[in-house]
């Protein structure tokens, strides 16, 4: 008896959580957050919903796993053999760049900050601050604040990138639009913004992010440090 023709060709190799997460990341990177639907994923993987749900708990689990992978990869790229301040800057920039390259991570960062890769970050920041001889209680606060700053700011930045991508405008055009808006503000009510409008053209998110890191480090050393150790 003739077998019924299959609607879709069935995949021959086994599905795995890894493959699912990897494919999800590809869709997210290529077409953005909204493009990752379970329908799109079943299509791309030539499989059904049940198969996916057999390997991941739900869509949130999938997104968290994808974000965790990217963050973990960014962390292994950081050279840790340099001087502590330099290592911290490198770590911060690596995370900033990773989050900017995969803006969909932004939404995940705020979904419970105790994912595996975040442990890595916290531990690493703690290690560098300890090398700077920050006393223990201060280290606790400083590491937390620094980590919050990095993830918070990078996340905000990624969100901006996402909004720009959705609207289809590039960074320069978006900045010009904001500058025009600020320039239109009442100089009596918003004197600083009105003035800052002229300077927005030279604004660089990455540089400003790093400037913030430096201010933070300067603050940490001023308040808690025992001076330079080189």
Partner DNA sequence: ACCTGAACACCGTTCAAGT
* Interacting span for DNA (CB under 7 A) from 55-63, 122-130, 152-160, 221-229: 55-63
Exactly one of 80, 223, 226, 229 binds its own copies (CB under 8 A); that residue is 223
In the complex, least distance from residue 73 CB atom to DNA, rounded to whole angstroms = 24
DSSP-based three-state secondary structure for 182: helix
Among 18, 22, 26, 54, binds DNA (CB under 7 A): 54
Q: Is there binding between residue 110 and its own copies (CB under 8 A)?
A: yes
Asked if 151 is part of the footprint of its own copies (rule: CB under 8 A), the reply reads: yes
Closest approach of its own copies to the CB of residue 3, in Å: 45
First to last CA, the chain: 83
Binding to DNA by residue 58, rule CB under 7 A?
yes
Our finding on whether 196 is near its own copies (CB under 8 A) is yes
Asked if residue 52 binds its own copies (CB under 8 A), the reply is: no
Output Rg (C-alpha) for the chain, integer angstroms: 22
Q: 18, 26, 31, 37: which one contacts DNA (CB under 7 A)?
A: 37
Under rule CB under 8 A, residue 32 binds its own copies? no
**The Cα angle at residue 155 between residues 89 and 45, in degrees rounded to 5:** 110
Closest approach, Cβ 54 to DNA, in A, equals: 5
**Residue 181 engages its own copies in binding (rule: CB under 8 A):** yes
Q: Does 51 bind DNA (CB under 7 A)?
A: yes
Closest CA to 89 of 133, 159, 136, 146: 146
List of long-range contacts for 225-228, beta carbons under 8 Å, 24+ apart:
225/132, 225/133, 225/134, 226/133
32 or 212: CB nearest its own copies: 212
Among residues 43, 135, 144, 201, which is the contact residue for its own copies, using CB under 8 A? 144
Q: Can you give the binding site for its own copies, defined by CB under 8 A?
A: 106-107, 109-114, 119, 122-123, 126-127, 130, 140-145, 148-149, 151-153, 155-156, 158-160, 163, 178, 181-182, 185, 190-193, 196, 199, 208-209, 211-212, 214-220, 222-223
Residues that bind DNA (CB under 7 A): 6-8, 10-11, 14-15, 36-40, 46-51, 53-55, 58-60
């Amino acid at each position: 008896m003739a077998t019924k023709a299959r609607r879709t060709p069935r995949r021959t190799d086994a599905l795995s959580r890894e493959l699912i997460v990897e494919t999800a990341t590809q869709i997210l990177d290529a077409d953005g957050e909204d493009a990752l639907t379970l329908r799109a994923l079943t299509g791309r993987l030539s499989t059904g919903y049940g198969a996916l749900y057999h390997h991941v708990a739900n869509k949130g689990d999938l997104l968290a796993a994808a974000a965790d992978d990217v963050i973990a990869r960014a962390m292994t790229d950081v050279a840790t053999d340099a001087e502590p301040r330099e290592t911290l800057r490198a770590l911060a920039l690596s995370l900033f760049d990773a989050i900017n390259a995969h803006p969909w991570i932004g939404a995940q960062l705020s979904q419970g900050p105790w994912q595996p890769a975040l442990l890595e970050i916290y531990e690493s920041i703690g290690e560098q601050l300890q090398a700077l001889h920050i006393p223990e209680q201060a280290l606790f606060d400083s590491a937390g604040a620094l980590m919050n700053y990095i993830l918070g700011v990078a996340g905000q930045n990624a969100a901006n990138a996402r909004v720009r991508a959705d609207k289809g405008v590039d960074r320069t055009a978006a900045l010009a639009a904001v500058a025009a808006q600020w320039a239109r503000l009442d100089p009596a009510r918003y004197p600083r913004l009105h003035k800052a409008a002229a300077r927005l053209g030279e604004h660089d998110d990455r540089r400003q992010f790093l400037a913030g890191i430096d201010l933070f480090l300067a603050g940490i050393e001023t308040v808690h440090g025992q001076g330079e150790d080189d």
